[in-house]
Amino acid sequence: MSELHPLEEALKKAAGDPEARAAFYQALMNSEVQVVGREEEPESEGQGAHIQLKQWQQPDGSMALPFFATLGTLRKTLGEEEPALTIPVVDLFRLARSATLVFTSPEGAKSFAPEEIEALLSTTLALDPLALALVRAVRDNADESRQAFYHTLVNSQVFVLGRPKDQAVPTGAESRYMSENDQFLIHSYPHPHQEGQHIIPFFSSLEHLKRATKDNQTYMAFPALAFFSMIRSLEKPVVMNPGYEPQKLFTLDEIKYLVEAARTEPFEPRQFKPGAKISLGPPVVYPQELIGALLDFLPGHQEVTAAYLTAMRENEDNAPLILVIGFEAEGDLTDMFREAGPLIAQYAGEGQIVDFARIERDEDGLSRYFLEKVNPFYRRALNRDQAGPAAAPPQTTAPPAREDYDQPGFLGRLKRIFSGSRKNAES
């Protein structure tokens, strides 16, 4: 019998041991899997590639989309002639969030209903945008993916092990003041391969930091570029997400380049020529991945009460199509705009321009157009856990409205869903 893939092994353990199910979900959401489908060329210039995925009819007559840990299992199960794609699970779940998916392995299968997919996407089990950008850069080994990673990095917040200067130094850690005026310390640790050398670790999310360190470790959050600017004088290598795969080592030259050459703003004000004529209307190709990512992102920003989408084009030859996302809000949107930048860079599609706009109910122009002509794709609910899709977008299926999934507890809910799904899973 052939050795199981780690994700298949995790499923086998979870099927027999309820305590192992949390580890299976964690492994799943950080994995890349194989699906039957093909990537088609964009229908028009400036649009991202379109992915077509194939579903199969189940014994009860319903349709489901199978996915696999390895290409070998896919071929053995479905046949050699089927075209296959490698895709991160988070991307697959966002693409097919309204469908039933089935993870199939030699030891059995696990079904994922739309409500379970929504639950998983709403948690920190899903890779954060910076970690996902690194996965793609390593997987693709292409200049475009590497540039996308650096762009996401310099517009991200990172988490660093450190403490106020008056706290005791944890055992085994080396700390150093940044300058005589600094009020905090950043910790470095022995280099795993070079005796006598130290590295400075940082993490793409608080979840990554907490899973990789002890409970009593103190930490600080910095804009990534500010962090690199501060630590460059220490002349130590820096490692992103140590203990995870993939991780990223930054050399001193790389840090210098990022500090001196990187652009930090993912957006800038747009100005049209005086007298320019602008056309507004729904996009020809609905940006499903982008909207899916925003539906996961916006419930964490309670200042946003609703979000709208339209397409804009200046009436000139060869004018690009611009997606415009309008936000109704209570309070300042600066932080939300900045945090949304990496999502836009990753999910809008290559070459697609995206603008943000604040909607004011007492203003004419674009605000009035959104309020009178466009249905919101997101609306904040009174209960934060119920915030989600507001209406079905054109030519697509809206994900189901979220329920109060987190009672009496997230892991308990997943265990109940897991048990129910196994009854319907294919063997």
Question: pLDDT higher for 266 or 160?
Answer: 160
pLDDT one-digit tens code per residue, 178-196: 444 556 778 888 877 777 7
Q: Taking 60 as the threshold, does the pLDDT of residue 250 lie above it?
A: yes
Q: Which CA distances in Å does 117 have to 122, 124, 201?
A: 9, 13, 32
For position 240, which CATH number holds?
3.40.1350.90
For position 331, which CATH number holds?
3.30.460
Q: Taking 60 as the threshold, does the pLDDT of residue 390 lie above it?
A: no
8 Å CB contact between 419 and 116: no
Q: Taking 70 as the threshold, does the pLDDT of residue 409 lie above it?
A: no
Q: Taking 80 as the threshold, does the pLDDT of residue 422 lie above it?
A: no
Q: 73 and 19 share a domain?
A: yes
**Host domain of residue 348:** 278-389
Q: Residue 41 has what pLDDT?
A: 66
Question: pLDDT higher for 2 or 220?
Answer: 220
Q: 251 and 298 share a domain?
A: no
Residue 1 domain-assigned (yes or no): no
Query: At residue 300, what is the residue type?
Result: G
For the chain, what is the domain count? 3
Nearest to 350 by CA among 14, 41, 126, 32: 41
Residue 376 domain-assigned (yes or no): yes
Q: Residue 174 has what pLDDT?
A: 53
Q: 219 and 337 share a domain?
A: no
Asked which of 226, 261, 296 is the last residue of a domain, the reply is: 261
Q: Residue 69 has what pLDDT?
A: 93
Residue 402 domain-assigned (yes or no): no
Q: Which CA distances in Å does 234 have to 158, 178, 238?
A: 18, 8, 10
Strands (E), 255-368: 278-281, 304-314, 322-329, 353-358
Q: 140 and 118 share a domain?
A: no
Across the range 138-142, mean pLDDT stands at: 81
Q: Residue 206 has what pLDDT?
A: 81
Q: 250 and 140 share a domain?
A: yes
Q: Residue 215 has what pLDDT?
A: 63
3-class SS of residue 302 = coil
Q: Taking 80 as the threshold, does the pLDDT of residue 5 lie above it?
A: yes
Residue 166 domain-assigned (yes or no): yes
8 Å CB contact between 133 and 331: no
3-class SS of residue 139 = helix
Q: Residue 269 has what pLDDT?
A: 54
Across the range 355-363, mean pLDDT stands at: 89
Q: 232 and 290 share a domain?
A: no
Residue 399 domain-assigned (yes or no): no
Q: How far apart are CA 34 and CA 393, in angstroms?
A: 28
Q: 139 and 257 share a domain?
A: yes
CA dihedral 257, 259, 261, 263 (to 10 degrees): 140
Hey, how many other C-beta atoms are within 10 angstroms of the C-beta on 282?
A: 14
Across the range 346-363, mean pLDDT stands at: 85
What is the pLDDT confidence band of residue 396, given thresholds at 50, 70 and 90?
very low
Q: Taking 70 as the threshold, does the pLDDT of residue 123 lie above it?
A: no
- The lowest-confidence range among 70-74, 271-275, 300-304 is 271-275
Question: pLDDT higher for 396 or 156?
Answer: 156
Residue 395 domain-assigned (yes or no): no
Sequence-distant (≥ 6) Cβ neighbours of residue 94 within 8 angstroms:
121, 288, 289, 292, 293, 296
Q: 162 and 58 share a domain?
A: no
State how beta strands 304-314 and 378-379 pair.
antiparallel
Q: 30 and 146 share a domain?
A: no
Asked which of 196, 231, 261 is the last residue of a domain, the reply is: 261
pTM above the 0.75 mark?
Answer: no
Residue 51 domain-assigned (yes or no): yes
Q: 252 and 163 share a domain?
A: yes
Q: 251 and 299 share a domain?
A: no
Residue 202 domain-assigned (yes or no): yes
Q: 189 and 285 share a domain?
A: no
Q: Taking 50 as the threshold, does the pLDDT of residue 291 lie above it?
A: yes
